[in-house]
């Protein structure tokens, strides 16, 4: 289990869209929904699209390449629950956002 690593400030996370951050050499998509932050693997399992940069509707992010959708809270695909992206633990201290495996 890894330690929490600071990856962003909360005000840097855009509304209704993800941002890509580096976590120990991995690209991670960071999202903010109603003040709560979530982190998922930034690469779509379908064709390697940038799901971490996708548009956000509620807690569902849509990969901009082919429209695959994932719940940022669980990483689970909205159509096929067997397809998912990795999720990360997130904590916010003040305005600093940290993630861990």
Confidence tier at 96 by pLDDT (50, 70, 90): very high
pLDDT given for residue 29 in this prediction:
97
Domains within the chain, CATH numbers bracketed: 5-100 (2.102.10.10)
| Whole-angstrom distance, CA of residue 30 vs CA of residue 21 | 7
> In Å, how far are 2, 67, 72, 73 from 6, measured between CA atoms?
12, 30, 19, 19
Interval 50-67: pLDDT, tens: 999 999 999 999 999 999
pTM of the model: 0.92
């Amino acid at each position: 289990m890894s330690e929490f690593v600071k990856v962003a400030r909360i005000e840097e996370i855009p509304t209704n869209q993800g941002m890509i951050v580096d976590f120990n050499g991995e690209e991670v998509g960071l999202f903010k929904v109603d003040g709560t932050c979530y982190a998922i693997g930034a690469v779509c399992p379908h064709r390697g699209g940038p799901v971490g940069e996708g548009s956000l509707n509620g807690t569902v992010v849509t990969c901009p390449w082919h429209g695959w959708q994932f719940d940022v809270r669980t990483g689970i695909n909205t159509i096929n629950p067997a397809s998912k992206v990795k999720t990360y633990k997130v904590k916010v201290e003040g305005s600093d956002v940290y993630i861990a495996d």
